[in-house]
Amino acid sequence: MKKCIILISGRGSNLQSILKKIDKKSIVAVMTDNPNAMGLLIAKKNEIETCIVSKTTNKQKFKDDLYNKILFYKPDLIILAGFMSILSEKIVNEFYPNILNIHPSLLPKFAGLNTHSRVLKANEINHGCTVHIVDNGIDTGPFITQKALLIKKSDTPESLEKRVLALEHTIYPEVIKWFLKNDPIIKNNVVINFKQ
């Protein structure tokens, strides 16, 4: 069985949804850059090893610490679930294409932060989330799958966050399950063999 580590920085709702759907034995650790991440409690409740890599003023040291800790766990797959630090090129180059991320927009639209308010400002019709492989760009790696919703007149950034998060919780565990058993074939920046 392939092994994964899950990287979080905050509340960990995606972590929770992943834990409900995949075999916990395949998760070797939950790692964070934030000692106060609520998601750590979820990991502990589920008896999963946790690991804190604290951010220091020395950016290179943080990058090195993160790299060394990840290597220590020897994961086949790295899962970003609300991890707010950018992975170093060294990590990405070593693990590509086995790093996954979920992003709250229909990429390539709205890469980066604050997607829900930006989508509303842009008068979009649709919004949603994307699961993709992480490369060295910001939210630019090969697409695996997306799920969309129609924006309502009454939507606010908060309501959109809630509605998109519910979609995230349905698609991310399915992708992870698949990656734990399969290897991706990538063509034109899309994973062409992923089947839900």
Which one of 5, 6, 7, 14 is in contact with ligand GRF (CB under 6 A)? 14
Please state the closest distance from residue 177 (CB atom) to ligand GRF, in A.
17
139 binds ligand GRF (CB under 6 A): no
Encoded tokens for 92? 């990405």
Sign of the torsion formed by the C-alpha atoms of 20, 91, 136 and 194: negative
Separation of CA 176 from chain center: 10
Separation of alpha carbons 31 and 49, rounded Å: 8
Amino acid at 57: T
Contact of 181 with 2, CB cutoff 8 Å? yes
Q: Is 127 a catalytic residue?
A: no
Among 33, 135, 155, 168, binds ligand GRF (CB under 6 A): 168
Q: Is 128 in the site for ligand GRF (CB under 6 A)?
A: no
Say what angle helices 13-21 and 157-181 make with each other, to 10 degrees: 40
Distance CA 47, CA 158 (A): 32
Total chain residues near ligand GRF (CB under 6 A): 15
Identity of the residue, 4 or 81, whose beta carbon is nearer to ligand GRF in the bound complex? 81
The alpha-carbon radius of gyration of the chain (Å, integer) is 16
- Kindly tell me which of 75 and 82 has the beta carbon lying closer to ligand GRF: 82
Binding mask 85-114 for ligand GRF (x = CB under 6 A): -----------------xxx----------
Instruction: Find the shortest distance in angstroms from Cβ 165 to ligand GRF.
Output: 6
Chain residues in the site for ligand GRF (CB under 6 A): 8, 10-14, 39, 81-82, 102-104, 129, 165, 168
Q: Which residues are catalytic?
A: 103
